[in-house]
Amino acid sequence: MRRLLLFFLACFIPLAAFCDEGHYVNLPVGSRAASLGGAYLAISDDAAGCYYNPAGLAYASSDSISGSGNAFLQTRTLYTKAIGTQDWSRESGDLLPSFFGMTKKMGDWSYGISYAVPNASIEHQDQLFYDPIASVRLFNISLHSEDITSLGGVSLAYAFSDSFSLGVTYYLYQRKLLLQQQQYLTLSNGDTELSYSSIRRYDYGYLPKLGLQWSPWESFVTALTVSQVQITSSNFVADSSFLDQQGTSSNQRFSSVKLPKTPTQVALGVAYFPSAYWLFALDLNQYSAVENNQQIVTNLSLGAEWFLNKENAIRFGYFTNNDNRDLSRSPSPSESIDLIGYSFGYSSYAQNSSINIALTSQSGTGLAKLYSGLDTTRQMQQTSLSILLGASYQY
């Protein structure tokens, strides 16, 4: 019990615990691709191809505009016995910007312009815990966080033949991370403690993505992409203030312009088109490890598309979203949780246009080290659901 009290007196849950730096699949991009579980490398023949594999644009059947105005993303993370003996649940649900893109063909050349938000979360939370442990009467935690990665740029693809194409996408990259939290503690003897902390981080750079598509056999397409975010400027500022039960305050500021390292992503994909009514796709995405506490991560995506008739199609997907953090080598606070996802989608087609809805769900269990300086781990569970409504227009 003495040990738990120390958490509250000296080790309030640090802000770093709220940053998800471990996963590469957050917000699905493009409603059709999302409903295929993200297995889109060897398909990629519409505007979403700008993001997944620009080489696929070379085989787009026509010029098109695609958009997913906003995605609704709901996430729930539960830490078991994190606040004394009580569970701590974090929940977020918001409409987030998603994707817009257009493609145009000019003979064997195709180009595209797109805007994508592959990572976004907005969380706002106020929670009160009464008597979490014997010596603490009240613990109040209030936080607000925004973590949004935006990409915008151009793509170019060239069909060398009916079976081989190359493409490149050049995205400008921006990540905005804002976190604020206050924690207030009332001990059973009436003393109080207060902490406030904030993080602001702005990263700017670019993301080149090189892709190719190859059809070695009829009905069969393979694909490969290589990409890595290149960060050219970064500004990180962290502030923290602490008022202890004796009324002594302390303030700290840490700032850095050190450029964060980013992983190289190599992705392989295959797609099988047995008929105009069926499609199966598989992608393997591999990310290199760039920090000592990271490990190489490979994620798998599987997707199937079935046209019920010429106007209606449904899709299914399965994917993994593994964590790159090795908890045994990570200083606290840190967490590691591998997620498994499922997706379902429906499209209604008209002559020149379609509307699409995609549902994706992720869940998993893992471990979290929530408190600075302590290797104590807590069980954690995470579930999320995203709903994506999109439309495309072919002209």
Separation between Cα atoms, residue 298 and residue 317, nearest integer Å: 17
Q: Which of 53, 103, 181, 354 binds another protein (CB under 8 A)?
A: 354
Q: Interface mask (CB under 8 A) for another protein, residues 76-105, using x and -? A: ------------------------------
| 67 is an interface residue for another protein by CB under 8 A | yes
Shortest reach from residue 244's CB to another protein, in Å = 42
Alpha carbon distance 323, 368 (integer Å): 12
Helix runs in the chain, H state only? 2-10, 31-35, 49-52
Q: Which two tokens stand for residue 67?
A: 């958009």
**How far, in Å, CA of 126 to CA of 120, rounded?**
20
Q: Binder to another protein among 63, 94, 131, 291 (CB under 8 A)?
A: 63
* Other C-beta atoms lying within 10 Å of the C-beta of residue 108: 12
Question: Which tokens is 170 given?
Answer: 């050049």
Among 9, 138, 194, 224, binds another protein (CB under 8 A): 224
Query: Among all chains, which residue has been given the structure tokens 């979203």?
Result: 321
Decide if residue 230 touches another protein (CB under 8 A). Answer: no
The one-letter amino acid code at 200 reads: R
Q: Is 288 a residue that touches another protein (CB under 8 A)?
A: yes
Length of the chain: 395
Q: What are the start-end ranges of the H helices in 120-248?
A: none
Segment interacting with another protein, rule: CB under 8 A, options 3-11, 126-134, 197-205, 269-277: 269-277
Residues that bind another protein (rule: CB under 8 A) add up to a total of 63
- The residue from 188, 264, 365, 376 that contacts another protein (CB under 8 A) is 264
Stretch that binds another protein, among 84-92, 180-188, 219-227, 250-258 (CB under 8 A): 219-227
Q: Are the CB atoms for 362 and 337 separated by under 8 Å? A: no
Residue 327 carries which DSSP code?
G
* Binding range to another protein, per CB under 8 A, among 18-26, 111-119, 170-178, 279-287: 279-287
> Which burial class, exposed, middle or buried, applies to 319 when counting CB atoms under 10 A from its CB (0-12, 13-18, 19+)?
buried
Contact positions with another protein (CB under 8 A) in 118-177: 161-164
Binding residues for another protein, rule: CB under 8 A, are: 43, 45, 59, 61-63, 65-67, 69, 107, 161-164, 214-219, 221-222, 224, 226, 264, 266, 268, 273, 276-277, 279, 284, 286, 288, 295-300, 305, 307, 309-311, 313, 320, 322, 348-355, 389-393, 395
